[in-house]
């Protein structure tokens, strides 16, 4: 069962968060810094987020946001607190009660082998899609609340409203809404159907991904694709086709995935944007991944989907796809 079956956005304006947090059927997803509690099961199945019943004091949490309802109609609320010392946060005895709930049914604690606090980058690729969606929403909303505590016009402290989906200036009555920054990410191919992969200057040797960048004001998504590729590697792109999208709450991006076809192949890297870039055939990618010379983005990222869409099938990337690997992506 998905943690959030329906966001129930129509409820937000008049929703009584205090009332929901006094209802024992409400599920609370705690978030400390950027980490949430994750449970492992004895049967070796997928890890899942752990939710709990409301507690006294939840309503005064740093960030309190109604995320929606599950299929049983139960509300899911994220209660976020600032990051603390990891040693003080990771103890299940201090932070998780016996009232655990991962997919909508009360969990039997005898089946739980481990509960740990994990970041989205760490655990996201192995969570069920519904859990990953809830984690992304929770983290994105928490980051937005923390960065919009004051009115940008008068400087007054803002107040949370509309079940956490609005911040309101009490002086001007101005309303602030959650921000999402559009970023394009593109798998660029040449006339020989080779794929362009690059390494940002901050990345270690061997890591490669497709190119990405933020959309500028007054710019279409397709033009953003062409501009970013030209700026980063000097390649001219003609045809551009939309492929897929992905929320990326680090802190507030929406990744819009495209395939693009170049009319030139000579690479001239902007050293501030791209340390190196190369054209790869499918055979070269397969060999380099197999031999450990090429580290691709993790399964959590749309970058990996774009690469595998070009490649023609899913790939296994050692050091990235094993549990404990670090999925990564960074718009330039």
Q: How far apart are CA 195 and CA 259, in angstroms?
A: 10
DSSP 8-state assignment for residue 59? G
Q: How far apart are CA 294 and CA 318, in angstroms?
A: 9
**Residue 272: exposed, middle, or buried by beta-carbon count in 10 A (0-12, 13-18, 19+)?**
exposed
Residue 310 CA to chain centroid, in angstroms?
Answer: 23
Q: Is 49 helix (H, G, I), strand (E, B) or coil?
A: strand
Structural tokens at position 239:
């045809």
Q: Is 281 helix (H, G, I), strand (E, B) or coil?
A: coil
pLDDT tens string for the chain (332 positions)? Answer: 578 889 999 999 999 999 999 999 999 999 999 999 999 876 667 889 999 999 999 999 999 999 999 999 999 999 999 986 544 444 433 444 444 444 444 344 445 557 889 999 889 888 988 999 999 999 999 999 999 999 999 999 999 999 999 999 999 999 999 999 999 999 999 999 999 999 999 999 999 999 999 999 999 999 999 999 999 999 999 999 999 999 999 999 999 999 999 999 999 999 999 999 999 999 999 999 999 999 999 888 999 999 999 999 999 888 777 765 443 333 33
Q: Is the peptide bond before 251 cis (omega within 30 degrees of 0)?
A: yes
CB atoms within 10 A of CB 252: 17
Q: Is the peptide bond before 173 cis (omega within 30 degrees of 0)?
A: no
CB atoms within 10 A of CB 90: 17
* 114 beta partners: 40
Dihedral of CA atoms 22, 71, 122, 243 in degrees, nearest 10, equals -140
Residues in the chain: 332
pTM for the model stands at 0.85
CA atoms within 13 A on the CB side of 89: 20
Question: Can you give the pLDDT at residue 190?
Answer: 98
Question: Can you give the pLDDT at residue 323?
Answer: 61
* 244 beta partners: 257
Q: How far apart are CA 139 and CA 120, in angstroms?
A: 8
* Residue listed under structure tokens 């990345």: 203
**Beta strands 237-248 and 27-32, pairing class:** unpaired
Question: Can you give the pLDDT at residue 45?
Answer: 73
Q: Which residues fall within 8 angstroms of residue 103, CB to CB, at 6 or more apart?
A: 1, 2, 3, 48, 128, 130, 131
């Amino acid at each position: 069962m998905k943690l959030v079956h329906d966001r129930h956005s129509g409820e937000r304006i008049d929703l009584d968060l205090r009332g929901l947090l006094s209802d024992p059927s409400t599920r609370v997803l705690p978030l400390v810094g950027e980490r949430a509690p994750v449970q492992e099961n004895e049967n070796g199945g997928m890890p899942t987020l752990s939710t709990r019943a409301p507690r006294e004091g939840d309503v005064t949490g740093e960030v309190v946001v109604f995320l929606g309802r599950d299929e049983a109609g139960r509300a899911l609320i994220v209660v976020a607190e600032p990051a603390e010392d990891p040693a003080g946060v990771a103890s299940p005895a201090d932070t998780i009660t016996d009232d655990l709930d991962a997919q909508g049914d009360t969990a039997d604690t005898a089946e739980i082998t481990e509960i740990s606090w994990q970041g989205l980058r760490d655990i996201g690729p192995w969570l069920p899609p519904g859990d990953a969606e809830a984690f992304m929403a929770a983290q994105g909303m928490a980051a937005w609340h923390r960065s919009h505590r004051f009115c940008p016009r008068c400087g007054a402290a803002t107040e949370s409203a509309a079940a956490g989906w609005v911040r309101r200036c009490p002086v001007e009555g101005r309303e602030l809404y959650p921000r999402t920054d559009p970023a394009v990410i593109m798998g660029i191919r040449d006339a020989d159907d080779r794929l362009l992969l690059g390494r940002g200057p901050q990345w270690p040797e061997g890591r490669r991904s497709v190119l990405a960048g933020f959309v500028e004001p007054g710019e279409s998504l397709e033009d953003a694709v062409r501009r970013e590729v030209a700026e980063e590697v000097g390649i001219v792109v003609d045809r551009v086709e939309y492929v897929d999208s992905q929320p990326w709450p680090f802190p507030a991006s929406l990744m819009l995935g495209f395939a693009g076809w170049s009319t030139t192949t000579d690479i001239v890297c902007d050293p501030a944007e791209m340390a190196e870039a190369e054209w790869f055939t499918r055979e070269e990618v397969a060999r380099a991944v197999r031999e450990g010379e090429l580290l691709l983005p993790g399964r959590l990222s749309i970058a990996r989907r774009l690469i595998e869409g070009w490649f023609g099938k899913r790939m296994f990337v050692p050091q990235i796809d094993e549990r404990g690997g670090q999925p990564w992506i960074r718009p330039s």
